[in-house]
Amino acid sequence: MKKFVLIIIAIILVVLGGFFYYRYYFVFGRGAKAGELNYFVEKGYVWKTYEGRLIQTGFKPQNMGGMQSNEFQFSVTDEKVAQMLMSSSGKILELHYKEYLGALPWRGYSNFIVDSVISVTDPGTGKRTTF
**55 falls within a domain:** yes
The confidence score (pLDDT) of residue 63 equals 64
The confidence score (pLDDT) of residue 21 equals 93
The CATH number assigned to the domain holding 126 equals 2.40.50
pLDDT 10s digits, 118-130? 999 988 887 888 8
Count of domains for the chain? 1
The confidence score (pLDDT) of residue 65 equals 59
**14 falls within a domain:** no
pLDDT 10s digits, 102-120? 888 888 899 999 999 999 9
Domain that holds residue 55: 28-130
Q: Picking from 57-61, 86-90, 98-102, which range would have the lowest pLDDT averaged per residue?
A: 57-61
In terms of Cα–Cα distance, which of 71, 76, 26 is closest to 51? 76
